[in-house]
Structure 1
Amino acid sequence: MFNEERHFEQPIRWAMVGGGRGSQIGYSHRNAATRDGLFKLVAGAFDLDPQRCRDFGENLGVDGNRCYASYKEMFEQEAQREDGIQAVSIATPNSTHYEICKAALEANLHVVCEKPITFTTEEAEELKLIAAERNRVIGVMYGYTGFPMVQQAREMVKRGDLGEIRVVNMQFAHGFHNEEYEKNDPGLKWRVSPEVSGPTYVLGDIGTHAFYLSEVMTGLEIDRLACMRQSFIESRAPLEDNAHIMMQFKGGAVGTLWASAVNAGSMHQQKIRIVGSKASIEWWDEYPNQLRYEVQGEAPRVLERGMGYLYQDAEGVASNRVGGGHAEGYFESWANLYHRFAMAFDAANRDDQAALADIWFPGIDAGIEGVRLCEKCVESADQGAAWVEYK
């Protein structure tokens, strides 16, 4: 079971940029970060409007004098306080991630950032260098990887339960944007605007989630890929609302990824199926407490979260917050990741590099590979779905 007794002498003093009133992602960050008492929200630049920012922050219990009109003002003012912030989460539109993350690192803050962390791999590599120079940690919010059954899948692959990995099928294909809803939805409008969203829409917004899940579970590295993408809602061009990728991995395995916002009638359909020479596993985020396990020649079985037959000694498998049979979900997964971020931040603060290296969490390298995937998919699609080298 999850260890709720793990605490610091004082919680990490934490702030947010973005994630103001009405933001689902903002609430998700706050819920996850504060659940275990390892972070305390003490400041924020929640909104571009100073009055809305202050009003919202005070309603959350933040001192109004620590609700700032901009992230720049917050970083500057907090640096002058003995009790200033130590970490910040960035929940703003994509186009701002790089500059805010860079400013936070230069202010000697640890960072949790929404993805994609930057528009280009060069920018992401720069952030990695700055973080290393200052002994700061960057966490990237791939929120689905905190589910215990994702870690069980990872361990099964690692221990050879599936045999040699041959095929990985990934998809994240919802139907909520099958029409031009952005006409009346500002939250969607920026996601389909290149100057704010970046070079992709569904590939960066949801495709990278499925891709990172496959990275976590299999550890496979892409050798080359071919991508075709479409804008079925024509006004979204050049950004895609549907994309298909074929992948060849180093070592001979192959894979596909389908990312879509126009899969009419679908909720999420985020599924990862890993096919080995002996067996296959499949995980679906709408049923996150189960992992389907199919051994050739045997009846299929469904593994359940919280059960003793799972690999209890594996990192993350036993991070159950309630016994098996009860439904754990999205917020628990996020809280598990924030717990790991806190452990990593604390290890860096103590300059315990050995402990830091021993903590698994989606960090800057995960962010870099997500950006690289988007870049390479655009490169391939612009050449008529040509095969391109991944690195």
Structure 2
Amino acid sequence: MTKDNLTAVLHGIEDMRLEQRPIPDISADEVLVAMDSVGICGSDVHYLTKGRIGHFVVTKPMVIGHESAGVVAKVGSKVKNLVVGDRIAIEPGVPCYKCDHCKQGSYNLCPDMAFCATPPYDGNLTRYYKHVADFCFKLPDHVTMEEGALLEPLSVGVHACNRAGVGLGSKVLILGAGPIGLVTLLVAQSMGATKILITDLVQQRLDIAKELGATHTLLMKPGDTAEDVADRVHQVMGVEPDQSIDCCGAESTTRLAIFATRSGGVVVIVGMGPSEMKLPLFNALAREVDIRGVFRYCNDYSAALALVASGRVNIKRLVTHHFDITETAKAFETARFGTGGAIKVMIHVQPRNSNNPVKF
């Protein structure tokens, strides 16, 4: 095993460094993973530019990255579900297993969740990373490492659609055609939604949404009022949506979601916006519109993997740019500014496709 453990470490706002770190020792229930592919998430960029997300604050050097896949390099003595050489996707959050939330199955709400690249926990944009085997998912031979890394954002889409109650014949409004909006679109389709309108401020992203199967798109403009856009949504769709899923989290999009959703429908807020905002709550209450939050995902990785492995969902189109780990700074710059129409930027810790047993 090489001693090279090049690692991307965030030291503070606008201070990302590549440095060598010791290869970690594993415990009995962990595996050591030779990392392969790590996607850049909007939260990674936010920590780089702002140093915090809500009450999660970077106060000491933190390894970045949490959308990932790799190859098992070593297994702990109690690990039975994996062997050296297995190709795996990593679910980045490990709960305590002991609190009421964990015991009731809602482990994403665990107050002691150790989540990759969320302060104070290190992420996995590194050559070698250790993780609890219970939260590693073996990839079938025909699923690429990049697709394995994309199971993380896809699981957000699965959880959002489950929280919204998307099903056969659903009419769905999705606010935002970034990576999370697009995976939510793909999942809503797979769950049987028959009308899906997706909005964005950038026409190019709407074009990709259309390519991925959105039945309707709507280009928004800064300054649009939520009430006016809600009327346009109804005109374009021909109906009021049953579910509205806000993948932006801005006050304007959350307001739009409430105004646009049919009476008795559901609004799900995925995007993390300001801590406080002005919302038309009377409108929602008087029409019995449920407003539900989403925090990451819970028991959704297996479903996300099944959607990809079965071919029901094709997430390869989301990856627009590829970089080696030595090019991490350039990769983050591309993701941050959307250079070249960037949607999902993938960092390859090992040479691309070197761990895909089937040629693609």
Same fold (TM over 0.5): no
The answer to which structure has the higher helix fraction is: 1
TM-score using structure 1 length: 0.31
Q: Which has the higher contact order (CA 8 A, sep 6+)?
A: 1
| Structure showing the higher strand proportion among its residues | 2
